[in-house]
Amino acid sequence: MNQPVIQEEWLKVLGKGMVTLPKKWRDELGIENGAMVKAKKQGGVVIIEPLKKKSVPYRIYTKKEVEQFLEEDRLSE
């Protein structure tokens, strides 16, 4: 059984904790501009995984929808 090739790079942490993944890795993993990735911390290790689905796991609500949610959630006096 073949072991996966381990690729290592030193990445600089920029403002607000941002890091840039090497272009070659993004290309190999199919991570495009604006794509969602999942990050998890296991002990002292950070793992970044590409989103496997094409759709994002969230929805953006309009201002009107948010106002309606807040109105419906308000307690009656």
Instruction: Give the residue extent of every domain in the chain.
Output: 15-73
| pLDDT for res 12 | 95
| pLDDT for res 3 | 83
| pLDDT for res 54 | 62
Which phi and psi angles does 56 have, rounded to 5°?
-90, 150
For residue 20, the one-letter residue type is: T
Using alpha carbons, select from 34, 76, 69 the residue that is nearest to residue 51: 34
Q: Which residues of the chain have pLDDT under 50?
A: none
Architecture of domain 15-73: Ribbon (2.10)
This prediction has a pTM of 0.58
Question: What's the token pair of residue 20?
Answer: 């840039």
| pLDDT for res 56 | 60
| pLDDT for res 55 | 61
Q: How far, in Å, CA of 51 to CA of 37, rounded?
A: 5
| pLDDT for res 40 | 94
